[in-house]
């Protein structure tokens, strides 16, 4: 009954906010293609209804119901006149109709209001299983002029996309933009939507994740062409699906698994100096040169990314993907951008996390801040984003680690001092 009361209060708060329209979140883009509508609406509605202290599954379910209702209506009234389309969008045969995002979002808010009112009278049933993973994430601009990183945590992946096959799923991602924030924003909005809508999600989730990167890249390149955008983004995404962990990546953002206190390498980042990457680029007619670091055509220090329209096909939008079967002995997963992993080595990550847990009685709440601090103290000047996904209770991770006597036996782990918190 207590959760039911909290759920009704969440719906009441949403209705109160809808009665006072000022301050509502808005879609990130003024005009949308039909393919972009679902992602943009999900992003904006979830920002409106989420983060209120109510059941997160209810916020995700409300978002899905409202977006579905809005998109099932006739969207022709939201198409902007051809003359209003952004300059350049009709060149080279591109005559795709674009939707007014503000008008479409207002239409979607009507659905949010209608469904919230209905659900106040009769709440939907909670899912059979609720994800209880603990996640700590932290991001700082650091010494850079702009913050171009984005990260995404979706514990209620199934509820957000109306998936009812009984297999628990959650999604985590870090995107590291360059040349502007547009590509990172776009990837953070659309990759998970594309994964969820892929025909192979249930039969071959690794394929769905890999092809979602390619699809998102193609979608963003169309947007970049019509809006003259030049930005790009690396990215690393993880989908936890039952007892399987799927990781996909482009560029030098990375994911590291820690199992019983030891790092497990899941991937190799895409950098121009990798022999296979250099060979691929040169076979396409590009080059890899050294100017402070190895760069594609003397410009980009990553060889794969979403976006970077001026460097396609040398900078590839094709992700790599790997699948790891979990045994239940895994401690945590750490996703981060190169601003972290270029400074903090994989072998240092377990000691930093476990040291934080030891100092804080097994509380992992600010562990991502500890890792960000370590990168700053190690000399990173880049944007830094770190996400720690505990695959077991943090207190249990620490308890098991101490029980095995590894603190004394392994000199790598130095629990002295304390990492400063970063705001």
Q: Tell me whether the omega of the peptide bond preceding residue 6 falls within 30 degrees of 0, making it cis.
A: no
State mean pLDDT over 186-192. 98
Half-sphere exposure of 380 (CA within 13 A, CB side): 24
When mean pLDDT is compared over 16-20, 103-107, 409-413, the highest value belongs to: 103-107
The pLDDT value recorded for residue 85 is 44
Dist CA 297 CA 275 (whole Å): 15
Task: Please answer whether residues 238 and 246 qualify as being in contact, where contact means their C-beta atoms are separated by less than 8 angstroms.
Answer: yes
* Count of beta carbons in the 10 Å neighbourhood of residue 389: 23
Q: Report the percent of the chain where pLDDT is more than 90.
A: 80
Least confident span in 23-27, 208-212, 368-372, 381-385: 23-27
Q: Which of 126, 105, 151, 112 is nearest to 54 (CA)?
A: 126
User: What is the tens place of the pLDDT at every residue in 133-180?
Assistant: 999 999 999 999 999 999 999 999 999 999 999 999 999 999 999 999
Domains of the chain are 2-121 (no CATH), 134-270+321-409 (3.60.40.10)
The pLDDT value recorded for residue 4 is 83
State mean pLDDT over 245-265. 96
Phi, psi at residue 153, to the nearest 5°?
-125, 120
Sheet holding 254-259, edge to edge: 134-140, 384-390, 330-336, 254-259, 262-265
Does the pLDDT at position 347 exceed 50?
Answer: yes
User: What is the tens place of the pLDDT at every residue in 293-328?
Assistant: 999 999 999 999 999 999 999 999 999 999 999 999
């Amino acid at each position: 009954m207590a959760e039911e009361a909290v759920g009704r209060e969440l719906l009441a708060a949403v209705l109160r906010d809808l009665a006072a329209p000022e301050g509502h979140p808005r879609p990130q883009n003024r005009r949308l293609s039909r393919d972009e509508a679902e992602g943009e609406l999900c992003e904006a509605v979830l920002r409106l209804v989420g983060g209120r202290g109510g059941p997160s599954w209810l916020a995700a379910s409300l978002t899905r119901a409202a977006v579905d209702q809005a998109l099932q209506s006739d969207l022709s009234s939201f198409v902007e006149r051809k003359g209003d389309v952004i300059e350049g969008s009709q060149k080279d045969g591109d005559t795709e109709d674009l939707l007014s995002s503000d008008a479409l979002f207002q239409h979607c808010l009507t659905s949010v209001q209608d469904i919230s009112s209905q659900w106040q009278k009769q709440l939907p049933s909670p899912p059979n299983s609720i994800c209880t993973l603990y996640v700590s994430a932290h991001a700082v601009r650091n010494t850079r002029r702009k913050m171009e990183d984005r990260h995404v945590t979706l514990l209620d992946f199934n509820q957000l996309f109306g998936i009812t096959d009984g297999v628990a799923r959650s999604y985590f991602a870090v995107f590291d933009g360059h040349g502007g924030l547009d590509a990172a924003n776009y990837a953070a909005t659309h990759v998970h939507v594309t994964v969820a809508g892929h025909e192979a999600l249930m039969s071959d989730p690794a394929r769905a994740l890999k092809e979602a990167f390619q699809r998102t890249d193609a979608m963003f390149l169309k947007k970049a062409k019509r809006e003259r955008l030049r930005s790009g983004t690396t990215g690393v995404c993880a989908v936890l699906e039952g007892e399987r962990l799927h990781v996909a990546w482009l560029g030098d953002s990375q994911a590291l698994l820690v199992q019983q206190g030891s790092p497990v390498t899941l991937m190799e980042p895409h950098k121009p100096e990798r022999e296979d990457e250099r060979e691929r680029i040169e076979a396409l007619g590009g080059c890899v040169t050294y100017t402070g670091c190895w760069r594609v055509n003397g410009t980009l220090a990553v060889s794969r990314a979403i976006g970077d329209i001026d460097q396609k096909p040398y900078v590839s939008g094709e992700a790599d993907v790997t699948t790891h079967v979990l045994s239940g002995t895994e401690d945590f997963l750490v996703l981060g951008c190169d601003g972290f992993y270029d400074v903090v080595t994989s072998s240092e990550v377990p000691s930093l996390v476990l040291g934080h847990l030891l100092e804080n009685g097994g509380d992992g709440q600010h562990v991502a801040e500890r890792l960000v601090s370590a990168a700053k103290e190690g000399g990173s000047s880049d944007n830094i984003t770190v996400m720690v996904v505990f695959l077991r209770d943090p207190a249990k991770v620490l308890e098991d680690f101490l029980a095995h006597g590894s603190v004394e036996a392994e000199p790598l782990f130095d629990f002295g001092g304390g990492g400063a918190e970063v705001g």
